[in-house]
Amino acid sequence: MADLRCQIAGVRSPNPFWLASAPPTDKEYNVVRALRAGWGGVVWKTLGEDPPVVNTTSRYGAIHFRGHRMAGFNNIELITDRPLEVNLQEIKRVKKDWPDRAMIVSLMVPCTEESWKAILERVEWTEADGVELNFGCPHGMSERGMGSAVGQVPEYIEMVVRWCKQHTRMPVFVKLTPNVTNILAPARAARKGGADAVSLINTINSITGVDLDRMAPLPTVNGKGAHGGYCGPAVKPIALCMVGEIAKDPECRGLPISGIGGIETWRDAAEFISLGAGSVQVCTAAMHYGFKIVKDMISGLDNWMDEKGYRSLDDFRGAAARNYTDWGQLDINYEIVAKIDQDLCIKCGLCHIACEDTSHQAIAAIRDNGAKRYEVIDAECVGCNLCLHVCPVEGCITMVPVENGKPYMTWAEDPRNPQNLKAAE
C-alpha cells in the first residue's frame, strides 16, 4: 500500500484526486456523494456576487469520436446560479462533516478590491482550506470583464492576487486560462502577486461543430450558438504541456500546481503528477461516468506505485519534468528505425502507404507470387514513428535503436548547424 496522501500549498487531502470547480461540485448534495465515493477533495463550483447568474438551456456540446462518446466536451455554462449565502452555508457544513478532505472555494467577482475583499471575508467564515481564483472561464463571464478577461492580462492577475493575499489567511490558488499564447506569462504574474499555487487548465475556446441544417455552431440555443469551453480527454495533451512548462520554468520554481484537463484514469493523474502537479482535478470524467470512477483511480495509482516502488507521491512528483526540455537540448545523434514483425503483420498496408505518400518512402511493398509483404528499408527510415502509430496491431511495429557509436549532441553542437559552419569558416 503506497501512501497517497497529498499536500499542496498547505492543503491536505487523503489522496490527490479532487473534483474541479464545475457542476459536480455545485451543491452539498453532489459534493457529499463525491466525498462518500472517496474523492480526496473538491473545488466548489465558482461563487460570484449576488444576484446569481442565469444560464441558458442547451449548455453542452460534445465530440463523439468514432464510437467513443465524449472524447471532447464543451460547455457554455456560467458560474454558480445559486445564491451566495446558500452556497456558503453548505460549504461550511460539508467542511465540518468531512474535515479530512480538501475544500477549496472557487471565486469570481468584478475586478475591484472591495469586491474581492468582501467575498473573501464571507468565505473565511466557512473554514474552507483555500480559495481558487477563477481567471479561466472563457465564455459569458469574460464578456462581463471577469474570468479569462482577467486571466489574459498578467497585470490584472498580479493585482487581484495581491489584493486577495492581503485580505485572506487562506492559501490562494489561481486558476489559469489556456486561452493565451504563452502560459508562463499568467503563471509568473500569479507568482509575483504572491499566489500559493496555480490550477490549470480551465476550458479552451471552442465550437464543437456546426449544425448544417440550422447553420449555427453547436450547442445551439434557439438557432444561435456562442463559443464554449472545451475539456475532456481531448484537451489532456494541451494541459500536460502547460503544466510541464510551468514546472520547468525557473521563474516559477517551487510554485505548486494543481493539474486539470482530461484526467480520467489513475494513469492520467500519474502523468500530471510526474510533470510536477501536486494534486489533480477532474470534471468531465465525473460528468461522464459518475463519482464511482475514483475507486479505480485510487487503487490503480496505489498498485502502480507499489509496482514501481514509490512509497509516496513525492517519490515521483516532477520526475518527468526533469526530462522535459527544449528541442534544442535533444540528442541529434540518437537514431531509431522501424521494424516490422512479419509474424504479427496482417498485411493491411497502412504503414506502407503512410510512409510512401506522406513520409520517407521507407517501407517497401513486396509482392512475391501474389503474397504481400511489407519491409522497412533501414537506410531510408528517418525514425519518425508514423508507421508505428498507424499500425493497428499492437507490438507489430517497434522502433529499434541504432548503435551508431555517436555521442549525445545537441543541435547547438552539431557541425551541420549553420551557426557552426559560419564559425568554422
Partner 1 sequence: MADAPAIASGLLPPEAYAANFDDLNPPLDRRAALVEASRCYFCHDAPCIAACPTGIDIPAFIRGIQTDNVKGAALEILEANIMGGACARVCPTEILCEGACVRTAQEGKPVKIGLLQRYATDWLFDRELQPFTREPSTGKRVAVVGAGPAGLACAHALARRGHDVVVLEKRAKGGGLNEYGIAAYKVAHDFAQKEVAFILGIGGIELRTGVELGRDVHLADLRREFDAVFLAIGLGAVNALKVPGEDLAGVLNAVDYIEALRQAEDKAALPVGRDIVVVGGGNTAIDIAVQTRRLGAENVTIVYRRGPAEMSATAHEQEVAQLNGVRIRHWARPVRLLGDGHVRAVEFEYTRLDERGRLAGTGETFHLAADMVFKAIGQLLSPDDLDGAGDGVELGRGKITIDADGTTSLPGVFAGGDAAAHAGQDLTVVAIEDGKRAAAAIHRYLTR
- The phi and psi torsions of 236 (rounded to 5 degrees) equal -55, -45
CB of 204 to ligand FMN, least distance (A): 9
Residues in 65-94 that interact with partner 1 by CB under 8 A: 68
CB of 365 to ligand FMN, least distance (A): 41
- Whole-angstrom Cα distance, residue 169 to residue 397? 56
- Whole-angstrom Cα distance, residue 401 to residue 404? 9
> For 256, what's the count of Cα atoms within 13 Å in the CB-facing half-sphere?
20
SS3 sequence of 144-210:
HCCCHHHHCCHHHHHHHHHHHHHHCCCCEEEECCCCCCCCHHHHHHHHHHCCCEEEECCCEEECCCE
CB of 268 to partner 1, least distance (A): 9
Applying CB under 6 A, among 8, 79, 298, 362 the residue interacting with ligand FMN is 79
274 is a site residue for ligand FMN (CB under 6 A): no
CB of 299 to partner 1, least distance (A): 4
**221 bridge partner residues:** 224
Among 349, 423, 360, residue whose Cα is nearest residue 390? 349
CB of 320 to ligand FMN, least distance (A): 20
Residues in 224-243 that interact with ligand FMN by CB under 6 A: 231-232, 235
Q: Annotate each residue in 13-52 with x if it binds partner 1 (CB under 8 A) or - if it does not, as one string.
A: ----------------------------------------
Give 407's DSSP letter. P
Instruction: From the list partner 1, ligand FMN, none, pick the one residue 102 interacts with, judged by a Cβ distance below 5 to 8 Å according to partner type.
Output: none
Which region holds residue 60: left if phi is over 0, alpha if psi is between -120 and 50, else beta?
beta
| 367: number of Cβ within 10 Å | 8
Quote the cell numbers at residue 337.
528505425
- The phi and psi torsions of 260 (rounded to 5 degrees) equal -145, 145
- For ligand FMN, the closer of residues 149 and 338 by Cβ is 149
292 is a site residue for partner 1 (CB under 8 A): yes
Instruction: From the list partner 1, ligand FMN, none, pick the one residue 373 interacts with, judged by a Cβ distance below 5 to 8 Å according to partner type.
Output: none
Element (H, E) at 268: helix 266-274
- The phi and psi torsions of 267 (rounded to 5 degrees) equal -70, -40
22 is a site residue for ligand FMN (CB under 6 A): yes
260 is a site residue for ligand FMN (CB under 6 A): yes
Looking at 19-27, 92-100, 151-159, 408-416, which segment touches ligand FMN (CB under 6 A)?
Answer: 19-27
> How many amino acids of this chain bind partner 1 (CB under 8 A)?
16
Instruction: From the list ligand FMN, partner 1, none, pick the one residue 166 interacts with, judged by a Cβ distance below 5 to 8 Å according to partner type.
Output: none
Instruction: From the list ligand FMN, partner 1, none, pick the one residue 290 interacts with, judged by a Cβ distance below 5 to 8 Å according to partner type.
Output: partner 1
**Burial letters 79-107, b for 16+ CB under 10 A, else e:** bbebebeebbebbbebbeebeebbbbbbb
- The phi and psi torsions of 156 (rounded to 5 degrees) equal -65, -45
Q: Annotate each residue in 132-161 with x if it binds ligand FMN (CB under 6 A) or - if it does not, as one string.
A: --x-xx------------------------
- For ligand FMN, the closer of residues 200 and 387 by Cβ is 200
Among 195, 22, 203, 48, residue whose Cα is nearest residue 116? 48
- Whole-angstrom Cα distance, residue 230 to residue 60? 10
Looking at 9-17, 180-188, 281-289, 393-401, which segment touches ligand FMN (CB under 6 A)?
Answer: 281-289
- For ligand FMN, the closer of residues 235 and 391 by Cβ is 235
Instruction: From the list ligand FMN, partner 1, none, pick the one residue 267 interacts with, judged by a Cβ distance below 5 to 8 Å according to partner type.
Output: partner 1
Angle 217-223-226 from CA coordinates, rounded to 5°: 40
Return the active site residues.
137
- Whole-angstrom Cα distance, residue 397 to residue 344? 9
Contacts of 31 (CB under 8 A, 6+ apart): 19, 25, 42, 44, 90, 94
- For ligand FMN, the closer of residues 65 and 334 by Cβ is 65
| 289: number of Cβ within 10 Å | 12
296 is a site residue for partner 1 (CB under 8 A): yes
Residues in 376-405 that interact with ligand FMN by CB under 6 A: none
Residues in 321-340 that interact with partner 1 by CB under 8 A: none
> For 307, what's the count of Cα atoms within 13 Å in the CB-facing half-sphere?
6
Applying CB under 8 A, the residues found at the interface with partner 1 are: 68, 265-267, 289-290, 292-293, 295-296, 299-300, 303-304, 393-394
Applying CB under 6 A, the residues found at the interface with ligand FMN are: 20-23, 45-46, 73, 75, 77, 79, 106, 134, 136-137, 175, 202-203, 231-232, 235, 260-263, 282-285
